[in-house]
Amino acid sequence: MPENRDWWKRAVFYQIYPRSFMDSNADGVGDLDGINRRLDYLAELGIDALWISPVYPSPMKDFGYDVSDHEDIDPLFGDLAAFDRLIAAAHERGLRVVMDYVPNHTSDQHRWFRESRLSTTSPKRDWYIWKDARPDGSPPNNWESIFGGPAWHWDEASGQYYLHLFLQEQPDLNWRNPEVVEAMENVLRFWLDRGVDGFRMDAVMLCIKQADFRDNPPVAGDSPWKKLGLTLEPLHTLNQPELHHMLRRFRALLDGYPSRPVMIGETWLFDPAELAAYYGPDLDEFQIPFNFMGTRLPWEAAAVRDALEAYYAALPEGATPNFVLGNHDVHRLATRFGYDNHRSAGLLLLTLWGIPTMYYGDEIGMQDVPIGPAESVDPWGLRRPGLDIGRDPARTPMQWDATLNAGFSPPKAKPWLPLASNYRERNVAAQREDTASTLNFYKALLRLRREHPALQRGGFAFVDPVPGGVLAYVRSAEGQRLLVAINFEASAKTVDLSALGGAGELLLSTHATPAGAVASALTLGPHESALILLSA
Ligand code: NOJ
């Protein structure tokens, strides 16, 4: 790829959940050769970089986030040769590839952990977090697993507890041990040397634990963690100050590569100021500390505006904002925000000031697929029944066409999760042919974003006043001004453009409104949103 140190600032990222994108070998699970076959689709869609959720060898207790070997590919997904082919083919098309990196924990089947658990004197004992029981045999403190239950598992054979902030089969690494730091930094080098363009760092906020292992306090009544089923505030397990040192080391390592790989953090923090700290004091930590506010907000203009103002205001000088509206851990945006609003959500994501990360299938309006108890496989959902947390509904196979198995798997295979019941109508092949489809809406939007510097990197200002239920903003660069107006509600709204110069040209609407001149009053139909090039 051509060298350009700031390539990520202009990029649109697209997350692929590899189990569900494209199955090339009829085993019902997506794989690397499958992704490779669909690269032309991604290039045509107009994204710049793919982030692929883990493809490492894994017992799949957490579908790949339980890594048993950091330097290989699980046979389910292919092999290193398939990976190399994918990188080369992506690069040929100008697409970058970002890997998932899972530093907080490994699988209990990783050779490091197998060695660690052999005895208290194993040379790898201190690679994980082992503690004696309290005198009454109970765990060393009250920490709980994010997936439910105690975070400590008693290992009968070696007579100690080990820590797991996720599943029992996902023991936490001890990042205070320099040998772990070295081994895990070598993992980064291994993939960078193979040509990857960066990493999305999983659960990275949890890597360093409070040194004295203090008990966590009970969750406050309004704590966002409570909604996830936690009974304790993760005060001593999350967001420890020592993390910043570790992240600066990672960033320096990545910056040593001429391809300028990007460092993306899975930073689940609810306070914009805390999140902003992960850019680093000299913008020397994450280039993209994922901003997940859009996965929690209601579809309400005022709530979105308040959250945007708080986020933008908290950013350090020179930092580039970013937005995530959907991923493999939350409900589909077309379900959360309502199907009527799914294109508006896409317009918002791709026109705000900030780097967008899309989730596979959102570009055809995929919704949550109801998955019955007999077919549920997500360990989090299964452990937290009643919390509406199950992740299977947002991880179903990509809908490519109307054939049996939606072109995801050959007809003879059984996809690992059920397909959406409407896949025969809602799929890539059908939407390609339909000029009014969501796919063509996204393609036009991505093209307009590329063509207009104002959208990629322009200034940002809210437009006031606007009718209640509307959010409007102007992006501007090089004398060009683009207005985005989003109607969050089910009634028509009229936005007065006279203060903005009074006229413009409609470039794109979420609805069938034809492109063309716009006068000084812009009327948006129910749930309609528009992108307008304002007159100079
Ligand atoms: C965050 C990942 O996105 C999620 O899918 C996974 O279960 C946990 N981290 C544990 O690795």
**Alpha helices by DSSP H, 295-415:** 301-314, 333-336, 342-351, 379-383
Nearest Cα neighbor of 349 from 531, 532, 507 is 531
Q: Do residues 296 and 303 lie in contact, with contact meaning Cβ atoms separated by under 8 Å?
A: no
CA–CA gap between residue 57 and residue 77 (Å, rounded): 9
Nearest residue (CA) to ligand 1, atom 6: 65
Which residues share a beta bridge with 524? 493
CA–CA gap between residue 353 and residue 454 (Å, rounded): 9
Q: Which residue has 């995801």 as its token pair? A: 408
**Alpha helices by DSSP H, 434-483:** 438-451, 453-457
CA 326 to centroid of ligand 1, rounded, Å = 14
pLDDT at residue number 5: 86
pLDDT at residue number 3: 66
CA–CA gap between residue 48 and residue 239 (Å, rounded): 30
Q: Do residues 471 and 396 lie in contact, with contact meaning Cβ atoms separated by under 8 Å?
A: no
Nearest Cα neighbor of 505 from 514, 497, 517, 496 is 517
The residues, any chain, with a CB within 8 Å of residue 208's CB and separated by 6 or more, are 175, 176, 240, 242, 243, 246
Q: Which residue has 């936005």 as its token pair? A: 495
The residues, any chain, with a CB within 8 Å of residue 310's CB and separated by 6 or more, are 272
Nearest Cα neighbor of 168 from 59, 69, 265, 75 is 59
DSSP letter at 343 equals H
CA–CA gap between residue 512 and residue 515 (Å, rounded): 9
pTM for the full predicted model: 0.98
CA–CA gap between residue 102 and residue 184 (Å, rounded): 9
CA 202 to centroid of ligand 1, rounded, Å = 6
Nearest Cα neighbor of 400 from 438, 418, 426, 422 is 426
CA 71 to centroid of ligand 1, rounded, Å = 19
Provide the strand spans (E) within 79-151: 96-101, 130-131
Q: At what angle do helices 243-255 and 178-193 cross, to 10 degrees?
A: 30
CA 228 to centroid of ligand 1, rounded, Å = 13
Instruction: Enumerate residues lining ligand 1, CB below 6 A.
Output: 62, 65, 102, 166, 202-203, 266, 328-329
* Segments in the chain below pLDDT 70: 1-3
**Alpha helices by DSSP H, 78-130:** 80-92, 111-116
Query: CA end-to-end span of the chain, whole Å?
Result: 36
pLDDT at residue number 24: 98
Site to substitute for ligand 1 among 16, 107, 202, most atoms within 8 A of C-beta:
202
Nearest atom (ligand 1) to Cα of 104: 11
Nearest residue (CA) to ligand 1, atom 11: 65
Active-site positions read 202, 266
Q: Do residues 342 and 332 lie in contact, with contact meaning Cβ atoms separated by under 8 Å?
A: no
CA 23 to centroid of ligand 1, rounded, Å = 22
Q: Do residues 216 and 239 lie in contact, with contact meaning Cβ atoms separated by under 8 Å?
A: no
Nearest residue (CA) to ligand 1, atom 2: 202
For 145, 405, 455, 460, 484, the CA distances from 481, given in Å and listed in that order, are 49, 44, 9, 10, 10
Counting beta carbons within 10 angstroms of the beta carbon of residue 18, is it exposed (0 to 12), middle (13 to 18) or buried (19 or more)?
A: buried
Q: Do residues 371 and 417 lie in contact, with contact meaning Cβ atoms separated by under 8 Å?
A: yes
- Domains of the chain in start order, with CATH, are 7-103+178-443 (3.20.20.80), 111-163 (3.90.400.10), 455-534 (2.60.40.1180)
Which residues share a beta bridge with 504? 518, 534
Nearest Cα neighbor of 434 from 461, 402, 457 is 402
pLDDT at residue number 4: 82
Q: Do residues 180 and 174 lie in contact, with contact meaning Cβ atoms separated by under 8 Å?
A: yes
Nearest residue (CA) to ligand 1, atom 4: 329
Nearest residue (CA) to ligand 1, atom 5: 329
